[in-house]
Structure 1
Amino acid sequence: MPTGVALRDVRRQLFDAADRILLRDGPSGLTSRAVTTEAGCAKGVLHRHFDDFDAFLADYVLDRVERLVPEAAALRSAAGTGTVAGNLTTALTALFGSVAVAIIALITFRDELRARLRHTWPAGVPVLTEAAEMIADYLAAEQELGRIPAGAEAQTLAAMLIGTGHLLFADRTGTPPDEEAVHRMVGSVLRS
């Protein structure tokens, strides 16, 4: 790879390259060489911006968690519109249809990454924890509007939706569940 080539927004280019590799090759295919090759830059570029590869991965995961913020706001603003099951189906399909499932596998796959993430993320699994909070916040808003029973536990329902949704989408090599399958799952959890 040529050196001395000016790159714009190196972090974004490297993170986007990591997305593509994770989706295509899974966590075992994600190496510093693979990332820089996919991004079209010299390997040294990654090491000029990050202490080591696990520091890159930790920043990458946290960056992808931050991407859930607008999704959470959109879901929260959907409270009172459409159907609760429909809104949750859309949110879960978008969440698990993204690179999120592959990031969860990456966190599980790399011990050093998990250790580094514990410094800024002391509990739970990044992406899943944030997604559960997003769903619980939405359910609480729907509960305030009377569209979810007053006695329902929003946090528990959110955890059930995230866990079951993750199981539906976990096989990244197979065909992802269709919208109807996700909607059935959401309806089952909401009725529980």
Structure 2
Amino acid sequence: MTTIGVFALQGDVREHLHTLESLGVRALGIRRPSELDDCDALVLPGGESTTMAKLARTFELLEPLRERVRGGMPVLGTCAGMILLADRVLDGAEGQETIGGLDATVRRNAFGRQVDSFETDLDFAGLDDPVHAVFIRAPWVEEVGPGVEVLATAHDHPVAVRQGNILATSFHPEVNGEDRVHRLLLDMAPR
């Protein structure tokens, strides 16, 4: 059975685990490097990107995460997870670390503060019907490298992108029962 890990030190862990389990896969909260070894793919959830990176370093997960992403493990990053996957971050905290792997420049909190959160329907490349997207203090993509495909845009900026086995969204598909983005991750995972 396919096992999908969810980075579980901070963020929307429970919502992602629930979505993945509803799709019939084994979902596992990841807090230690040994748990990462059991995963076929990974979700980096929304949360607070600087805190997530610091906790990953503290729990000795940062380097193993970088190695797995560089090695081609399929990964989905949502909101803060998108920031963690970006090679370059604008408006980040001083010394902010990322896992990297996504040839993109991402701006933290690009849509504004918590009170500026919003929902909208997005046309999403490869999906027949629009995706209902929930944006909460969300980033957007400022610039993509040549190997990055833009899957959806909002406010004239990319908000969903894909590069090889890396899929990232500015929004939270896990909070409203939208499972098609998670299905895209499962399509990349080994069976």
| Bucket of the pairwise TM-score, normalised by the shorter protein | under 0.3
Query: More helix per residue: 1 or 2?
Result: 1
Which TM-score applies when normalising by structure 1? 0.26
The structure number with the bigger radius of gyration is: 1
| Bigger proportion of residues as strand | 2
Q: TM-score, normalised to structure 2's length?
A: 0.26
